[in-house]
Structure 1
Amino acid sequence: MELPTVMLPDVQANKPQIPVNLSRVGVTDVKKLVEIKRKGKRPVVLISTFDIFVNLPSSLKGANLSRNFEAIDEVLENALNAPVYEIEQLCSDVAINLLSRHEYASQSEVIMRSEYVVKRESPETKMECQEVVDIFAESTAYRTEGDEIDVRNLVGAEVIGMTACPCAQEIMRDTAKKELEALGVENKKIAKFLHKVPMATHNQRGRGIVSIETKGEYTVSLETIINIIEKSMSSSIVELLKRSDEAVVVENAHLNPKFVEDCVRAMARNIVNEFPDLPDDSFVVIKQINEESIHRHNAFAERAASLGDLRIEISEM
C-alpha cells in the first residue's frame, strides 16, 4: 500500500507579525574548500569562509536558508568542469545563483575570506620561503526592473610589512651630526656619512589593506594588489632570514622611512599606475594600520575614492 505524500508546512512563506523589510538574511561562517585554477601553474586550493545573504520583503516571515547552501555547493561543483580563475568570479556566480533560487529577493551578497600563500625569497641569501596573506572578495547582485541581473565585484588583500618612523630618524640624524661635529669631523664628511648610513628610528609592523570594486565584467589581479601593498611600506618582511638577510631588511627599511599616511598615498599612486584599464567608476578603499612599538596606540590612515578621482589627483602631481 502506497503511503500518501505528506506536505510539510512552509512556515517561512507565512506573513510575519511585524511586516518590516530586512536588508540581509542569510548564513555566516560557512567553510568550504575552493580550487582556483591558474594558467600554466598548479591550481590553488583555499580553505575559505563565506557569508551569504539575500534581502527579505516584509511579506515573508523568513528565508529558506538551505537554498544558500545549495547555491554555493552547486557553483563549486560546476567549477570542476568550468574552471574558476578569480575568487570574485566565484562569488559572483554564487550571488547570481542565489537570486535564481530566492525569487522574492532583489539583492544578494556573497563575502569570501581566505588565507593565501605566496612564495618569497630572502633578500641576500635568496632562500625560498612562504608568506601568508589574507585575501577577500565580495559580490553583490541586483535584480533590475527588466529582470536583468547586475553584479558588482570587490577583491582585496591584507598584507603585513614594516615601516620606519621618519620623525624619530630626523631627531637621531641631528644628534649624530652634533656628535660628529664635536669630534672635529668636517662638514663634508658628516654629510657623506649621514647620506650613506641610515640612522636609527623606531619601527612598526604595518598592515596594508586594499580593496577594488568593479562591475562584473572586469577582473582585478590579486597578485598585483599584494605586490602594491608590499612595496608601499618601508620594507616587506620575510619569514626566513639569515643574519645577512636581516641586515638588508633593516637597512632598506631605514633608508625608506614612511609615515602611515605615506603608505596610503604610495598605494594610491601604485593602484593608478598598475590598473590603467579599469574604468573610472571602480571604487578603491586603501587602509594602513601601523602597530606602534613605542606607543600603546596604533596609527591609522585611509582613502576611499573612485579610481577616476584618484587618477585626477595623481595626474596633478
Structure 2
Amino acid sequence: MSETRELRDMQASAPPVQLALSRAGVTGVHKAIRIRHGEHEILMAAELDCTVDLARDQKGVHMSRFPELFDQAIDEVVLGEGLHVEALAERIATQIVERQNALRAEVRIVAGWPQRRRTPVTGLQTQEMVSLIGIAASNGAGARRVVGVEATGINACPCAQDLVRGEAAERLAAAGFGEDAERILELVPLATHNQRGRGTLLVGTAQNLDAEDLAGIVERSMSAPVYELLKRPDELHVVEQAHRNPRFVEDSVRVALEELLSTMPALEDGDFVLSRQRNLETIHDHDVVAERWGTVGEIRAELGGTAPSSEQTTLEAWLRA
C-alpha cells in the first residue's frame, strides 16, 4: 500500500507577485439564519459576503473555510439564542480572523425580513418585505458593526408638479376663475410623475437599535409608503398622500438623517450613519440616486449650522478605524 501523500498548503505559499490585496473572500453565499427581534426570533433567508485583507506574502485564503465558519456560527445561533443581524456578522468576522490568520475580516449579511402591516384605510393585513442589513469588521483586537435596512416607498416629483401647477393656474385664469384659482389649486392634488424608490439607512454603533424603527424612518422619508395589497380607498389615500408630499431623491436622504438624529439622541458623535435613496424614474430611461455618509458628530454639526467638513467619513474608513 502506498503512503498517503502529504498535501501542500498552496494558500500559504508565496504568490507570483508580492502585493497585498485589499479584499479577498466569498460573496453571494445563501443561508437560513435566525434573528432576534425584541422578544421574538425570526427565521430568514440571507445572503452573506465575507472578505479578508490578504498579506503580500500569502498566495490566497482558504475559501472553503468561509462557508464552514458560516455554518458553525449559524448553527450556534439556531441551536442557541438568536442574535441581532449585526451581532451575527460580528461573530463571524471575529472567527474568520482567527481561522484564516488574517489581519482583518469584514462580513455583510442581507436578509429578507417580512413585516406585517395594515393598509391605511380598509385595514387589510399585508406582508411587506424589508431588507435587514448587518455589517461587521474585526481585526482580532476589536470589532465595529453596522445595522441597517432597505425599504421601498414612492416619491412624487416636485419639479414636474410645479410645472403642472403653473400651467393649471394660467388655464384657470383664462377660464375666468380669477381669485379662486389659487384656492382650487390648494384643494385639488396636482399631477406629477411618480418614482418607486428604495431607501437605505445604515447606523454604525455599539448600541442595540430596533431595525423596525429604522425602516419607519426610511419609509417616512419618501412621499408615501407602498403596499403589496391595496383596495380602492387605500389606493386613493396613497396617491393623494404622495402628491401632497412631493420629494426629490435628495430630500429623502436629508429627511431620513434629520429624523434619525432627532429621534435617537443617544447616538454618539463617533457613531456612523449613511442614508441612500435610489428612485426608479418613469419619464427618463435612467434611475436617480443620492447619498450622504459621515459620523454622527459630522452630521449633527452641519444640521446645527456648521459648515460641512471638507472630508466626510466613509463607511470603509469608519469600519477600519
Q: Same fold (TM over 0.5)?
A: yes
Pick from 249, 255, 263: which aligns with 1:260? 249
1:182 to 150, 174, 198: 174
Q: What is the 5 A alignment of 1:86-235? A: 86-103=84-101, 105-143=102-140, 149-187=141-179, 189-214=180-205, 217-235=206-224
2:71 pairs with one of 73, 76, 82? 73
Aligned partner of residue 18 in structure 2, secondary structure: coil
* Aligned equivalent of 1:236, options 184, 201, 225: 225
Report sequence identity in percent.
Answer: 36
1:80-130 CA deviation, whole Å, 9 max, x = no partner? 354233101000000111122123x11011111222211121111110101
Question: Residues 112 and 40 (structure 1 numbering): CA distance in 2 closer, same or farther, change over 3 Å?
Answer: closer
Task: Give the AA of the match of 1:131.
Answer: E
- Residue by residue, what CA displacement relative to the aligned partner does 1:175-215 show, whole Å, maximum 9, x if unpaired? 3333333333351x33332222221111111221222223x
- Measure the CA separation in 1 of the matches of 2:202 and 2:98: 28
User: Which residue number in structure 2 is paired with residue 146 of structure 1?
Assistant: none
Equivalents in 2 of 1:15, 1:96: separation in Å?
Answer: 25
Determine if the alignment matches structure 1 residue 24 to structure 2 residue 23. Answer: yes
For normalisation by structure 1, the TM-score amounts to 0.89
In structure 2, relative to structure 1, the CA distance for the partners of 1:171 and 1:57 (3 Å cut) is: closer
Mapped partners of 2:100, 2:213: distance in 1:
36
Gaps of 5+ in 1: 144-148
Equivalent pair of 2:77/2:83 in contact (CA under 8 Å): no
* SS of alignment partner, residue 142 of structure 2: strand
> Contact 1:281–1:308 at 8 Å: present in 2 too?
yes
TM-score (norm 2): 0.88
**1: CA distance, partners of 2:250 / 2:56:** 45
Cα distance, 1:60 vs structure 2: 2.5
The residue that corresponds to 2:303 in the other structure is 314
Provide structure 2 residue ranges, at least 5 long, that are not aligned to the other structure: 307-321
* 1:290–1:298 CA contact under 8 A, matched in 2: yes
User: Are the equivalent residues in 2 in contact too, given 1:169–1:200 (CA < 8 A)?
Assistant: yes
Contact 1:290 1:300 in 2 (8 A): yes
Does the 8 Å CA contact 2:261/2:267 hold for their aligned counterparts? no
Residue identity matched to 1:44: I
**Per-residue deviation, 1:18:** 2.4
CA–CA separation in structure 1 for the residues paired with 2:5 and 2:184: 88
Q: Secondary structure at the match of 1:83?
A: coil
Aligned-pair Cα RMSD in Å: 2.2
Structure 1 ranges of 4+ moved more than 4 A: 3-6
